[in-house]
A = this chain, B = another copy of it.
Amino acid sequence: MKMKFKIKNEFNFRLKNNFSKKHRLKSSQKRLFIIEYFLKQDKHYSVEELYNQIKNRMPGIGYSTVYRALKLLVSRGLAAERNFEKGLTRFEPVHKEGHHNHLVCIRCGAIIEFTNPAIEKIQKKIALNYKFTVTDHKLEIYGLCQKCKKKEKYQ
């Protein structure tokens, strides 16, 4: 059973181009499934989390296959690695520019992305000030989300 490669969106388009053409990858069934699932979910997965979810939907899959698929996406600029918690890498799909900011709930782990032009602007100014050429940046605000705040109250 082969999987047809449909160009549903920009992701798949970029995948097709980058994978098949540029690097002559054979885009196996398994890899495609992992990648599509990951991109579709659009969450911040650790390798293990993604592996567990994929495993249920496609039994027999190996941890390293998931791991390597994610690494592949990173190397092609289609995913980014994050280190919210120490000792654990999370992967997020790279949709577009500007998604470098996160609100992270320290209790339930919820992650909210946001963009803010004002902050971007200030960052550029600061970098300029120190004569830095910016390649990347990230802003993370840690705290309690609304839900967890309420829970804390009644404990």
User: A residues engaging B (CB < 8 A)?
Assistant: 81, 83, 86-87, 89, 103, 105-106, 112, 114, 116, 118-119, 122-123, 126-127, 130-146, 149
B142 touches A130 (CB 8 A): no
B140 touches A137 (CB 8 A): yes
What B residues does A133 contact at CB under 8 A?
A: 143-144, 149
**A133–B149 alpha-carbon span in the complex (Å):** 8
What B residues does A123 contact at CB under 8 A?
A: 119, 139, 141
**A146–B144 alpha-carbon span in the complex (Å):** 38
Decide: A132 near B136, CB < 8 A? Known: A86-B89, A126-B103, A127-B103.
Answer: no
A141 touches B134 (CB 8 A): yes
One complex includes copies of this chain to the number of 2
What B residues does A114 contact at CB under 8 A?
A: 126, 130
The 7 residue pairs across chains A and B that have the minimum distance between CB atoms: A131-B146, A134-B143, A136-B142, A137-B141, A133-B144, A132-B143, A139-B139
A134 closest partner in B (C-beta): B143
A130 touches B145 (CB 8 A): yes
A148 closest partner in B (C-beta): B133
**A122–B118 alpha-carbon span in the complex (Å):** 8
B145 touches A132 (CB 8 A): yes
Most buried by B among A112, A132, A133, A149: A132
